[in-house]
Structure 1
Amino acid sequence: MSDDGQIEGVSFWNFGAHVNGCLFGAEGAVYFALADGSVARLADPACASADRYGLHGGAILCQAPAPDGGLFTGGDDGRLVQLAPNGESVDLASLPGRWIEHLAVSPVSSALAMASGKNVFFFPGPDAEGIDLGALPSAASGLAFSPDGGLLAAAHYGGATLWDFSGESTSLARIALRGLCLTPVFDPTGRYLAVANQEKFVSLADLAGGAVRELTGYARKPLSLCFAATADTLLTSGNSGFTAWDLDREGADLPLQIQFAQQEETHQTTVAAHPLFPVALGGFSEGSVFVAELTAKAAIYVFNLEAHKVTALAWSADGLHACGGSASGVCFTALLPALLGA
């Protein structure tokens, strides 16, 4: 499937549809959510065949892992669907005439949140009724739970709204930010909330100290954000190579931006930090995939997804496997040693 031929420890697939997202299920399976409304499932990263499930009447717009295996998907048909590991699917919610555009799951419980337009719905569990948390100032453009599950963040025009579920009653707070905010991400400690912006910068909110900083220096919109496992580095797409922000600068007003492994005539479209080690995968607009060593600020080329833009990357929870997909449907699964030794 790749122009690099066979690579030991790496498998390539072509599902023939734009890959909106990919993830590892709690049961160890690999899932690719596709723009044709279907999900491709590999029972394990090394299996020789894939199962395909048609879940939506239109495109899948968002996906998230289910606590007991399988995944949740939201589509432009207004349906929230849960696909179980055995292939059975069930509708959890339906909003006729609307799109379900964003999903987030709590990392410590079975809580789930979904967004449709200005409305955010909170589900205490997959079997519970969704609770409408009320209308946002504008349409939601991303959701994220904090690492302890106590906070839910929704990005929108003009800032981010945070719901705090840690007390006896739910409280709400808003962080004012410039412009259209996208892709909220918490750092592993829960101290920082990073939010991408349509105007080629990233807002970094210190939830402990209250400061908000704008991180600039992008050639394109930094639409993909993640924090390193060590919580001292923010990684983003948006430039010709890897873009890392050093957050561990005592006494400094702003984090230090470090760009490395720049490429010609391409730009990074997605980035995924390893869950345990200072390593990250980066995908580029012309299909190349690189693996970065964050301590050394260096990266090596691994393979190319047939010259199609990389749209999704993910790691397994134990960090032993990775997966990714492209705009054409070309996908991969890989063992960590294969990526590091390529």
Structure 2
Amino acid sequence: MSDTADFLLDLRGVSRGLDAYVVGIAFGRDGVGCAFGLGDGSVHFASLEGDWARVEAHAGAVLALCADCRDGVLTGGDDGRLVRIGVDGAVVELAKFGSRWVEHIAAHESGVRAAGVGKAVHVLGADGSVLKSLAPPSSVAGLAFDPKGKRVAASHYNGASLWFVGAKEDKPRLLEWKGSHGILAISPDGTHVVTAMQENALHGWRLADGQHMRMSGYPTKTRSLSFTSKGKWLASSGAESVVIWPFFGGGPMGKAPTELAGGDAVICTQVACHPVHEIVAAGFEDGLVVMAEIATGKIVPIAPPGRGAVSALAWSPSGARLAFGTESGFAGVLDLSKR
């Protein structure tokens, strides 16, 4: 497997050791440029031509990174800054929140952005101005816009909250479930919200009627969630395989999940579903990166073990490119388009 994976990386991609923890990865919405945010405060832009450009984004660590509304990327740092970096490498500070860490960020192509800072969610417009500041019951642990950008959701202790971005009165819909909730995902059709909990389980809500969904059995905490493009499946990390829950035919309750790419007693650390096809990319604690076809279970190795635990995965908007990064600072981008 390692020989094949090295062959793919060498033949169809570029890679580099960046010497710092890869916190996050994002492709621009236009598909141009791939950005790696690092624990040393820098952001590295990579191209398949082999060009790498380093941008100093934060005086400390990058804590969060995502694609911006149109092109470029957003980063949040432990220096209290929310920053936009253009495809030309230009750094623009959108907001400064004093000494408070900017740990969670999100952006929607409609032009709205959000930053989770302590016990507040700040919503910013296309011009970078703060439109409103929302107050969840406790510190923000996960943040996401719904597919249309109409609502923003934040997970926190004892549940999650959803606000309408354009509402005159900022009264949230509270999704309650006792316990500590972490990362958050919203299904592509906007019908379900799922969070990862401290006690090695997932919790979900069906928004139409508030129906609860509990998905348990993980040996470790889930740190990565990803819905397939049409919302049929939810892929998750936290087990010795890629755990995939069905979100069709009434949802996951009472149903066993599908497990892919397991058997080596190594924990899956990251998942990312393809933006078009029912394929999931997965990274493991030993550095292995694979692609798995959900329908058939077919596995294609992308990168071999040995370069540190996989800490970030991302697809380009078209799904033609896949990028990954590890805790040791190894970064790679592959072109998976037909030739």
Q: TM-score scaled to structure 2, two decimals?
A: 0.93
What pairs up with 1:112-123 in 2 under 5 angstroms? 112-123=113-124
**C-alpha distance in 2, partners of 1:319/1:25?**
12
Q: How does 1:94-109 map to 2 (within 5 A)?
A: 94-106=96-108, 108-109=109-110
| CA displacement, residues 282-307 of structure 1 (integer Å, 9 cap, x when unaligned) | 00000000110011134233322633
Aligned AA for 2:121? V
1:179 maps to: 179
Question: Is 1:39 equivalent to 2:43 in the alignment?
Answer: yes
Please tell me whether the aligned partners of residues 69 and 113 of structure 2 are also in contact (alpha carbons under 8 angstroms): no
Cα distance in 2, alignment partners of residues 92 and 197 from structure 1: 31
Q: Contact conserved, 2:122 with 2:130, CA < 8 A, in 1? A: no
Matches of 1:179 and 1:159, distance apart in 2: 7
Given candidates 11, 16, 20, the residue that maps to 1:13 is 16
Say which is worse superposed, 151-160 or 82-91, in terms of deviation.
82-91
Query: Following the alignment from structure 1 to structure 2, what is the Cα–Cα distance between the partners of residues 247 and 307?
Result: 34
Q: CA deviation at 1:210?
A: 1.4
Amino acid at match of 1:20: V
Residues 129 and 304 (structure 1), Cα distance of their counterparts in 2 relative to 1, 3 Å cut: same
Aligned counterparts, 1:153-168, within 5 A: 153-165=153-165
Aligned to 1:124: 125
Q: Which residue is 1:133 aligned to? A: 134
1:71 aligns with 2:51: no
Q: Which moved more, 1:299-308 or 1:257-266?
A: 299-308
Distance 1:331 1:263, change over 3 A: farther
- Asked if the contact 1:189/1:231 (under 8 Å) is kept, the reply is yes
- In structure 1, how many angstroms separate the alpha carbons of the residues matched to 2:268 and 2:253? 27
Residues 253 and 215 of structure 1: is their aligned pair in 2 closer, same or farther, counting only changes over 3 Å? closer
Q: Distance in 1 between matches of 2:292 and 2:176?
A: 33
Partner residue in 2 for 1:314: 314
Q: Shift in Å at residue 130 of structure 1?
A: 4.7
How far residue 124 of structure 1 moved from its aligned partner, in angstroms, is 2.1
Amino acid at match of 2:26: L
How far off is 1:85 after superposition? Answer: 1.3
Instruction: Tell me what 2:197 maps to.
Output: 197
CA RMSD of aligned residues (A): 2.0
Check the 8 A contact 1:101/1:115 in 2, yes or no.
yes
Structure-1-length-normalised TM-score = 0.92
TM-superposed CA distance for 1:38, in Å, is: 0.3
Q: Do the aligned partners of 1:112 and 1:126 also contact (CA within 8 Å) in 2?
A: no
Give a deviation string over 1:246-294, Cα, whole Å, max 9, x none: 1223598434312232132311000000000011100000000011001
Residue 59 of structure 1: aligned partner: 61
In 2, Cα distance between the equivalents of 1:260 and 1:64? 27
The alignment covers a number of residue pairs equal to 334
Gap regions ≥5 residues in structure 1? none
Per the TM alignment, residue 183 of structure 1 is displaced from its structure 2 partner at its CA by 1.0
- The 3-state SS of whatever aligns with 1:256 is coil
User: What's 1:143 paired with?
Assistant: 143
Per-residue deviation, residues 203-254 of structure 1 (Å, max 9, x unmatched): 1110112101110111111110011113111110011011011122359843
One-letter code aligned to 1:179: G
Structure 2 unaligned segments of length 5 or more: list them.
none
1:219 aligned counterpart, secondary structure: coil
Structure 1 residues 214 and 252, CA, compared in 2 at 3 Å: closer, same or farther? closer
Q: Does 1:336 align with 2:329?
A: no
2:82 aligned partner: 80
SS of equivalent residue, structure 1 residue 17:
coil
8 A contact 2:114–2:122 mirrored in 1: yes
Partner Cα distance (1:164, 1:269) in 2:
32
Q: Percent identity?
A: 31
Q: Is the 8 A contact 1:274 1:315 kept in 2?
A: yes
Q: Deviations over 1:146-181 (max 9, x none)?
A: 001111110111100110235565441111123110
Aligned equivalents of 1:243, 1:253: Cα separation in 2: 15
**Corresponding letter in the other structure for 1:23:** A
Aligned CA distance change for structure 1 residues 87 and 337 (closer, same or farther; 3 Å): closer
Deviation per residue, 1:69-106 (Å, 9 max, x gap) = 11111100111111111111111111222111100112
Q: Secondary structure at the match of 2:58?
A: coil
Matches of residues 145-294 of structure 1 in structure 2 within 5 Å?
Answer: 145-165=145-165, 169-250=169-250, 253-294=253-294
SS at 1:154 equivalent: strand
User: Which amino acid is the alignment partner of residue 110 of structure 1?
Assistant: G
